[in-house]
Amino acid sequence: MGTGQQQCWVAKRHGKRTDSRRTAEGHYRTPRRCAMLPWRRPVQVTPDRTRRSPVVDVFSPEPAMPRRSLPLGRVYGLLEPGPVVLLTTSHKGRANVMAMSWHTMMEFEPPLVGCVVSGRDFSFRALETTRECVLNIPTVELAKQVVGCGNTTGERVDKFARFGLTPVPASLVGAPLIDECYANLECRVADTRMKNRYNFFVLEVVAAWVNPTCREPRTIHHRGHGNFAVAGEPFKLTSRMK
């Protein structure tokens, strides 16, 4: 389509008349030689090479803060720091506990939690088979027990006995609660479609318990390679977030 044909097509497309007679209000109609609508008219832009673009001026050629390259294998330490949890399972009459920090909230109500449990973990088979677990949230007072659970395997060790943790019967699932943890979330597996590829389970929290005497829990946050942080001073801002 030529330029003139394209211009006329645009005018007809938008209901424009193409005759040049004067209207009752004294205005001329769009001339027969149709002009393309302003927002469709091509504009020839000639760059001014004598001055820098204002967009470029926004960014300094040197970063304001010093930066260095981070190995990709350490990226998880930047995003991971949700509270470390102790995941408990029970399979064939044997309870087990593992430390886990790769988890994320996925829904408000019913609460859905996504988590990665490695296929190499002893707990993987129990979770896959029973489709039940408890997410127990410890505080910093249990830091050594948490690390101990992460450094041992339930295949050879009774972690409850080894680290002085007390199993308590749950209300809706077969896996036990850990009495020393300030919060306990009883969960059932809701979705395993990403299990085979990513070892990713979606858990639905079916019951939740919290210690009312623990007003400001100092949870543990893993920052990678054995580095941990403790939840700091809480603060509140006006927010529309739930």
pTM of the model: 0.71
Contact 95, 89 (CB under 8 A): yes
Contact 36, 1 (CB under 8 A): no
Q: Report the pLDDT value the prediction gives residue 31, as an integer from 0 to 100.
A: 47
pLDDT, mean of residues 98-119: 94
Q: Report the pLDDT value the prediction gives residue 69, as an integer from 0 to 100.
A: 84
Percent with pLDDT over 70 in the chain = 73
pLDDT, tens only, 62-84: 657 787 887 888 787 777 668 99
pLDDT-wise least confident of 9-23, 91-105, 159-173, 179-193: 9-23
Q: Report the pLDDT value the prediction gives residue 103, as an integer from 0 to 100.
A: 95
Q: Which domain holds residue 136?
A: 78-230
The answer to whether residue 46 scores a pLDDT higher than 50 is: yes
Rounded to a whole number, what is the distance in angstroms from the first to the last CA of the chain?
A: 55
pLDDT, tens only, 177-229: 999 999 999 999 999 999 999 999 999 999 999 999 998 899 999 988 888 99
Q: Is residue 6 assigned to a domain?
A: yes
Q: Is residue 105 assigned to a domain?
A: yes
| Pair (146, 86) in one structural domain | yes
| Pair (15, 97) in one structural domain | no
| Pair (114, 216) in one structural domain | yes
The total domain count for the chain is 2
Length of the chain in terms of residues written: 242
- From the list 84, 170, 108, the residue with the least C-alpha distance to 134 is 170
* H-type alpha helices, 25-73: 54-58
The answer to whether residue 10 scores a pLDDT higher than 50 is: no
The answer to whether residue 151 scores a pLDDT higher than 80 is: yes
The answer to whether residue 9 scores a pLDDT higher than 90 is: no
Q: Is residue 50 assigned to a domain?
A: no
